Structure 1
């Protein structure tokens, strides 16, 4: 049914197509809208050319003043930048690792040092485990000092991150398990 509908639609669309095309081509074209009339006064046009000439003309006194200017540029010292923006060079200072996993874990290249104020994953787990096992020995201040961390960051680390706790549940013995007895 849909093929028949498409055929009927094509018949009406293509009916007398050639005559309709010739009729459209033979129609007179609409006239183009007239351009906006612009009138430039001769006085105004001379001013424009004078300004263009003045812009492109070489001005020797100004060129001499420009040549007398000397600019010397130096990179700011690191101390100045630290005073201005203390976190800018925070990551340039590095410290050796306190703890590292043995071998080549997960195919990651073995690290030898980390930026101050940062921890490797192994160090973070070790610090969290030490604090969990002996909170009197591994206090907030000691962990911060040991790993060169800010007190605020260390407090957030010890409060919000808990190391994994593995609990081994012993298997049930035969007495505990219920079995169906044969009668």
Structure 2
């Protein structure tokens, strides 16, 4: 029933819509309100033009002062020449311990990483080694093996857990279960 009411309302709203629109458009437009007398005199326009002319004129005293300024600059003498970036990079980098075989995902194979950092493959290897054998792969050994800070290594082992699959047994005997290999 409400659908019928909506149809009737729409018909009444759209009835003779073109004629009503043309009537509104053809009405005489209202005139604009009169301007405040102070702004219509044009006094501001002349002030703006005078200021622009004054800006663009040459001012001889300022021009002579500007010509008398002489700036001389020299580079500061460096007491110790900085090492080239390539030399610094060789000192702070270490070769990879582990990497993925081949060219995975079309990425460029990296051969070394900065000291204090791990590649993704090395991080996963270190985490899984610690999980399998926590007595032999301690935080100290991992930090020494990968040239890491001991504090960062402890945080890594505490907060990052490698992927683990847990199979929860069903509560009922007749429930289906996926057999693992």
TM-score normalised by the chain length of structure 2 = 0.57
> How far, CA to CA, are the matches of 1:118 and 1:142 in structure 2?
15
2:22 aligned with 1:7: yes
2:93 aligned with 1:102: no
2:31 aligned with 1:53: no
TM-fit CA distance, 1:74: 3.3
Contact 1:94 1:116 in 2 (8 A): yes
1:73 aligned residue? 77
For these two proteins, the number of residue pairs brought into alignment is 133
TM-fit CA distance, 1:104: 2.4
TM-fit CA distance, 1:92: 6.3
2:154 aligned residue? 155
C-alpha change, 1:11 and 1:118, in structure 2 (3 Å) is same
2:43 aligned residue? 33
> How far, CA to CA, are the matches of 2:21 and 2:132 in structure 1?
82
C-alpha change, 1:177 and 1:118, in structure 2 (3 Å) is same
Residue 157 of structure 1 aligns to a residue whose secondary structure is: helix
TM-score normalised by the chain length of structure 1 = 0.57
1:118 aligned residue? 117
C-alpha change, 1:33 and 1:5, in structure 2 (3 Å) is same
